Amino acid sequence: MLACAKKGAVVTGVDLSSEQIRLARQAAAYCDVEVRLVEADIRELPEDVPRDHFDLAATECGIFGWIGNLDAWMNSVVAC
Helix segments in the chain, DSSP class H? 2-6, 18-31, 70-79
Number of structural domains found in the chain: 1
> What tens digit of pLDDT does each residue of 23-73 get?
999 999 999 999 999 999 877 888 888 777 777 777 777 777 777 787 877
Can you give the pLDDT at residue 34?
95
Q: In the predicted model, what is the mean pLDDT of residues 1-18?
A: 91
Q: Which domain holds residue 34?
A: 2-79
Q: What's the pLDDT band for 78 if we cut at 50, 70, 90?
A: low
* Cα–Cα distance, 49 to 18 (Å, whole number): 18
Q: What's the pLDDT band for 79 if we cut at 50, 70, 90?
A: low
* Cα–Cα distance, 55 to 57 (Å, whole number): 7
* Cα–Cα distance, 2 to 47 (Å, whole number): 24
